[in-house]
Amino acid sequence: MQTLEKTEPKLQELKTRLIEIKDIESAAAVLYWDQATYMPPGGAAARGRQMATLKQIAHEKFTDRAIGELLENLRSYEESLPYDSDEASLIRVTRRLYDRAVQIPAQFMAKFSLHRAQSYGAWAKAKPENNFAAVQPYLEKTLEFCQEYANFFPGYEHIADPLIDGVDYGMKAASLRSLFAQLRQELVPIVEAITSQTLADDSCLHQHFPEAEQIAFSHKVIEKIGYDLHRGRQDKTLHPFMTSFSIGDVRITTRVYENHLGQALFSAIHETGHAMYEQGVNIEFEGTPLADGTSSGVHESQSRLWENLVGRSRGFWEYFYPQLQEFFPTQLSNVSLESFYRAINKVERSLIRTDSDEVTYNLHVMIRFDLELAMLEGKLAVKDLPEAWNDRYKSDLGIVPPNHSQGVMQDVHWYTGMIGGMFQCYTLGNIMSAQFFAAALKTHPEITTQIQQGNCNTLLNWLQENIYYHGSKYTTAELIQRVTGSSLSIEPFISYLRNKYGEIYAL
Amino acid sequence: MQTLEKTEPKLQELKTRLIEIKDIESAAAVLYWDQATYMPPGGAAARGRQMATLKQIAHEKFTDRAIGELLENLRSYEESLPYDSDEASLIRVTRRLYDRAVQIPAQFMAKFSLHRAQSYGAWAKAKPENNFAAVQPYLEKTLEFCQEYANFFPGYEHIADPLIDGVDYGMKAASLRSLFAQLRQELVPIVEAITSQTLADDSCLHQHFPEAEQIAFSHKVIEKIGYDLHRGRQDKTLHPFMTSFSIGDVRITTRVYENHLGQALFSAIHETGHAMYEQGVNIEFEGTPLADGTSSGVHESQSRLWENLVGRSRGFWEYFYPQLQEFFPTQLSNVSLESFYRAINKVERSLIRTDSDEVTYNLHVMIRFDLELAMLEGKLAVKDLPEAWNDRYKSDLGIVPPNHSQGVMQDVHWYTGMIGGMFQCYTLGNIMSAQFFAAALKTHPEITTQIQQGNCNTLLNWLQENIYYHGSKYTTAELIQRVTGSSLSIEPFISYLRNKYGEIYAL
């Protein structure tokens, strides 16, 4: 009791400071959300400044020496508690984030932030013009910044490790390379076998589907699968995202293409996966660093699980397809469930990562991952990036982008000012989505038939209890071990692809 | 030049600090706007905390001793500049606000803020139940807080003066009492003369008017009169307000009653008046204290000018009424312009301030103004407030509220935690709206016929140039003198009422 009495006030003080910081970060998130949804064009200039101000204040407050002292003073208290107690976890996770944040000088952060905003602006302007030359100097500067950033963490094995570590804690370039190589070895023959056949016909998705009905249907779907709209909402935007302002307010945004039914629908389910993760966190963690998802990879595993393993499954559409047909009778009444199912699971060698199918998707990611590593290593100059990109698309996917906006300029990631740590989470997410789903099915085989009845409760409850509830209490590796009983493995993902696409394409 | 070189960096430093503070305040305003428009219910708890955090940080940063030192160091520079130069004005206005802010201990502010939020919550719950007893203890506490607040400014003539001064700088209880007494003397006979006649028929406004069309029509009107929607927008809410996040992003919110056409329409024009004021400020003032309207009274003069002197004029509807009839043909095709004009200008002894007509409106305000002064003076106990309210409604307006939600609990002001300084701005706004409008007409008599043609440009440009552009550079008194060539006077307002209502009611 003596320890408790002495140290609890310090933990309370730490929490008070952390909540204040989270409030400022959440305010910045609201400003971003508003910018992407409702802000009139005239608000843009001040808005950029306002978000930068809030981020700067949050960073200053988090790297305040007082936080370091509190963490130091709480060390013995932390050690007196079980590793997985909430309090020990809060101290441990905060210390990890603090130790990381204080490595980076405030002045560097300010310069880097400014550059990132400028780089984004240059890309947004240059992309429609396919003008790589206009972004090249920004990207060169970005590369320098990222190398400098990595060097604030001396002793790394690979220069990308500090960048990867910031979003996927515990992952390293070397182990990811080996994991991705294994995956590639399995994927390539599957892609070959499928793409040697006639392309699936997805013309049914490319009719005219009015925006309002698309939004209404996707709203119905995400509510049915378990997105709590009392603590969330869906708005229109240009680039879909999920954002969380508190455990009680987790929102998604959706983009609608009237000539492409899949875009709004699957992106809404994808973002809902992210949102249900954030909504499911233990309410006791509110306002603390434990209230976030534990890593980009695990976050992506949840969006992909709901988008693909649930949302592109035959069982899911056995329930929802008749309802979709009711929304779009002229477009779909003559399209069978089987045709629709094949259309939404069409596999092809394509150019755009975000539009690509489950089978080829990871090949897109690996190209980016390899290229960013090569740039950081100094083996690939920014000026040679477009050629390297096109070469890899030719060798890995057999096609060459006709222009840069469908090629090296398609993704915002590098142009928003980060090279390194940007892409591994997508493939990690795919791998983990299958591993988690397999674990859920092992405990609850009834999930499959429930999904056919439009009932996702058992699955959601299992994910909630095993993953969402814990927020970022456990690292990615710890979480996988706890939830699946083994370490990260590509096996469930490969099995899933073989089963699903083996059946569709009679492999 | 020597002075400039030495002191300009200090002015720059002051500006940098002020802009940071404004960024935080603007973020708090975005959070409030979101809460009132789109926030899901689950977001409420964290949102209150987030707004309080931002306000606290902004207050701490503004009362930082460094700001005081900068202002002190800039004193001789300020004195070397013309009084109405932008730089001298920025220093002068900032010093006034700073001197005021540092009088109030941070600890008091924190306790007071918490109480205000709790009091608002109690009122929101108790109002529908007409339960004054539930709010009485909060209101008693509020009164104590407000008296304590006033006492941070020793040497006042009247205890309400420091509270009035915070929103209507330069105004005092004594001069307001005398001004309002003059006004009452003129108003009472006009009200008597009108209300002795048969009540106007406004049943045409109380048909069913679908929400979407009401919003669409009001949108058309506010755009036509000059609200720049590239730098603004209109959203739905429960309690209409205007809010500004920067000169480039000034928004209004609107409430629609489907059985009352006037509500959305005139409230939209009212808020647009506030918004055009904020949109019209000199862009050089962006992010500084000069970028706000100069006082609550002047702000209200602009909302009331557009709502009443323009929006309820016959000429305005000569242009807009045919369009309104096109929006609502079944409801209005048989209603003449004259009937509609009389309906929107119906004068009656009524209970609700916000729904009351131009003639009786100020009688509602004076009741509140007198009661809050009496409470602050200690002459009226909170427990006796409902009786005092009802007595005054009986004597001043000849009617007694059937319940507290239509009586003493109708306005949020006292219940959001302030007694004193809350109501004078409404009557000041009415008085000034007529004084400014008369000055505009004197310079540009063509405004009257232009409005009949749906053209408000000359009026808007004149207001822009003479009032909006200057933000809070001039005090209310200075602005009136500059713009009208004389001091605050009730004469133009009384003339306006006599002319308009004399004609309608053949007085």
DSSP for B310-342, written as a single string: ITTSHHHHHHHHHHHHHHSHHHHTTS-HHHHHH
| Residues of chain A found within 8 Å of residue B35, distances taken between Cβ atoms | none
Max distance between CA atoms of chain B, in angstroms, equals 74
Residue B5's pLDDT band (boundaries 50, 70, 90)? low
Distances (CA, A) of B172 to B351, B427, B475: 28, 14, 14
Per the CB < 8 Å rule, is A235 touching B50? no
Torsion of Cα atoms, A85 then A89 then A92 then A93, to 10°: 170
Distances (CA, A) of B426 to A499, B305, B429, B476: 72, 12, 5, 14
- CA neighbor of A504 nearest in space, from A150, A194, A107, A125: A194
Length of chain B: 507
Rounded CA-CA distance B11/B1 in Å is 15
What pLDDT, on the 0 to 100 scale, is given for residue B106? 87
Give me B159's structure tokens: 């205890």
| Residues of chain B found within 8 Å of residue A247, distances taken between Cβ atoms | 46
Residue A1's pLDDT band (boundaries 50, 70, 90)? very low
Of the listed ranges A385-394, A413-422, B443-452, B481-490, the least confidently predicted one is A413-422
Max distance between CA atoms of chain A, in angstroms, equals 74
Number of alpha carbons in the 13 Å side-chain half-sphere of residue B113? 17
Is pLDDT at A131 greater than 60 in this prediction? yes
Buried b / exposed e over A173-186, threshold 16 CB at 10 Å, is beebbebbeebeeb
Rounded CA-CA distance B17/B11 in Å is 10
Is pLDDT at B117 greater than 90 in this prediction? no
Query: Parallel, antiparallel, or unpaired for β B242-246 and B249-254?
Result: antiparallel
Rounded CA-CA distance A457/B88 in Å is 65
What pLDDT, on the 0 to 100 scale, is given for residue B2? 42
Give me A433's structure tokens: 């989505």
Quickly list DSSP for B399-448: ---SSSTTTTTS-SGGGGT--SSSSHHHHHHHHHHHHHHHHHHHH-TTHH
Query: Parallel, antiparallel, or unpaired for β A242-246 and B234-236?
Result: unpaired
Which among B43, B53, B230 has the least Cβ separation from residue A248? B43
Of the listed ranges A4-13, A54-63, A396-405, B78-87, the least confidently predicted one is A4-13
Q: What confidence tens digit (pLDDT) does each residue in B21-78 have?
A: 999 999 999 999 999 999 999 999 899 899 999 999 999 999 999 999 999 999 999 9
Rounded CA-CA distance A477/B478 in Å is 68
Three-state DSSP state, B250: strand
- CA neighbor of B94 nearest in space, from B13, B164, B9, B172: B13
Are B279 and B409 in contact, with CB atoms under 8 Å apart?
A: no
Q: Tokens 């394409």 belong to which residue?
A: A505
- Cβ-in-10-Å burial (0-12, 13-18, 19+) of B66 comes to exposed
ipTM for this model: 0.94
Give me B380's structure tokens: 């009226």
What pLDDT, on the 0 to 100 scale, is given for residue A6? 55
Length of chain A: 507
**Rounded percentage of chain A residues whose pLDDT exceeds 70:** 99
Q: What confidence tens digit (pLDDT) does each residue in A384-402 have?
A: 999 999 999 999 999 999 9
Sign of CA dihedral B384, B385, B387, B391: positive
What pLDDT, on the 0 to 100 scale, is given for residue A93? 98
Which among A19, A230, A247 has the least Cβ separation from residue B41? A230
Interface of B with A (CB under 8 A): 19-20, 23-24, 26-28, 30-31, 34, 38-47, 49-50, 53-54, 57, 228-233, 235, 245-249, 251, 286-287
Q: Is B491 a catalytic residue?
A: no
Q: What confidence tens digit (pLDDT) does each residue in B79-112 have?
A: 999 999 999 999 999 999 999 999 999 889 888 9
Is pLDDT at A5 greater than 60 in this prediction? no
**Å between B74 CA and nearest CA of chain A:** 25
| Residues of chain B found within 8 Å of residue A230, distances taken between Cβ atoms | 40-42
Rounded CA-CA distance A59/A28 in Å is 12
**Å between A212 CA and nearest CA of chain B:** 15
- CA neighbor of A95 nearest in space, from A9, A156, A170, A14: A14
The predicted model gives B172-177 an average pLDDT of 98
Number of alpha carbons in the 13 Å side-chain half-sphere of residue B403? 7
Look up residue B257 and give its DSSP letter: B
